[in-house]
Structure 1
Amino acid sequence: MGGYDARTEELAAGARAEMVRKISTEGAFTADPRWREPFARVPRHLFVPYYFVATPRGYERRWGESPDPRARERWVCGAYADEPLATRLRDGELLSSSSQPSLMARMLAALRVEDGDRVLEVGAGTGYNAALLAERLGDDDLVTSVELEPEIAESARAHLAAAGYRPVVVTGDGARGVPGRAPFDRIIATCALPTVPRAWLAQCRPGARVLLPLATGVLALTVRDAEHAEGRFLTTAAYFVPLRGQGRAEPADVCFAGLPRRAREQDTFRFLLALGRGALDPREAYALWGREEEPERERYGVTLAGDRGWAWLDDPEGLYAWPLP
């Protein structure tokens, strides 16, 4: 494991320990302390041999093979910063990134993985999240990761192999899941989705847990069977690169006309607008948000039942509910 010079590996080890300490201090491992060890063991820098940093002049590329020792030091320290890292760009558009480690820790802890669980990851990215899962479960074959872009999937495989992990990385449309590797006990998506793909439910065992970024939040569903699932959002905000492929999210314009300036600046109000996209008028949403004392994300949830799917506030059968896309 490794491949860089001794000085770089020494810096990486120290930076990784500091990253884990900070994540732990923030309470990200509280829901499942068993995740601390995978974060301490998996070398994130092997999964981001280069990444891009935004500057006033555009993106600056940092890479581990730079001939400048100071540039290599900046690269390795940045690899362990608790920040998302842009890893793939196309014509200035972000295609793929390595998520913020503390958010990854919170999501993995909320996934409630148990020994022996079969896990599907949607959005392979750099391969880092799949490596954490493989390290936690101790069996590469229990982890399947699906990625639409062949180049990104191949890169993830190479990063995983370099770090000593060999989970199954499939090239395909994540919205369709990976039926050939089902059934799954857990599904986690590392890309934003416009709705919950029904194909996933059919590939889950009863009682499976599904975590996905939706409407700038993270939804945690419990699957009853192929047609029924229900759950609430986590407390944390989450902003991910959108899923590409059949289930990709299309941008939606929101009209703030007639709403106070404060409305467009409030994160929880914008979350409500995103969750009710196409079904909730912005003025109605603002009135609801005010009446309910500006509810946080954890008061919202989603229910899937047969052909129906709806989001709700406080109660699946309560006063406030609207259809999902």
Structure 2
Amino acid sequence: MREIELALNQTQKIRLQRALEKLQCLCSKSKSNASVTVADAIPVNYEDGILKGHGTSELDGEVIATVCGVVERVNKLVYVRSLRSRYKPETGDILVGRVVEVAQKRWRVEIHSNQDAVLMLSSITLPDGIQRRRTPVDELNMRNIFEENDVISAEVRNLQHDGTWQLHARSDKYGKLERGQLITVPSYLVKRRKQHFHQLDQYGVLLILGCNGYVWVGELIEAKDVMEVDDVKESEQTNANISGYTSVEVKEQSQTPLETRQNICRIANAVRVLSILGFNITIEVIVEIFNLSTSLNLDIHEMLGAEFCVTVAEKEADRRNTLRG
């Protein structure tokens, strides 16, 4: 997504500056020892036999930070996690990616990282749903499953010996994504959580917060039983053969309702507002921004205006202050 520059007047600049200063004050109080800048000393206990990791160096008997970020400690390892950096996959991450190439027994997927990932034919669930060995016929039909420019959801499986990350999509919740919008945000704004798939039933929207900074906002399609789908297809084919053409009702059922499309656009703009302001993207804040825009009777395009962005910053500062209190 292209960065949107806000045209703020003098009053809006003052309001936004006050809200950001309030947020910075709350953040510094809660994480006073976690954030470091270049040349800051990191308190460690040498008796524990610590290991210096990325973003650290030793100077005059002290561990010094060489990058700006957050101090992380894993057992004896001490390192600094950079806040603004390209996405680095980790095993178990939920991703949203785009297929860029169909190769032999694999798809190459762009995941907003330094290099593309690989999704093997053996690491997906076939349309028939039967667990079996992949045959040459399955390899010939790979484009019927995923083709170039398809948007998919998957999970990081492991790191191969050649340095390529391998994905898998063996669950029903993974696979091809349609009828929605793909939004690109900085990956550091999406924190790793237990749940990255969010079904907003009240809006008819499926929201996927990819750890790689790709956010999918699309129509929530209910999963149907395979036998039920086959019966529907057979009845539709029978009706088409009788009438000679596909009915208008069948075509309307295959389209996304207008209200759902509006909800998709409104939630997508809520994600864009959080990206513009540099706030962490969570489902709770997205729903609050959605409700705020509807309570103010704003059109969808007005959500990207300067006044609404300033209002969101003020509301977020009040919300964090309330949670802290």
* Higher radius of gyration, 1 or 2: 2
Q: TM-score, normalised on structure 2?
A: 0.28
Question: Which protein has greater RCO, CA pairs closer than 8 Å, 6+ apart?
Answer: 2
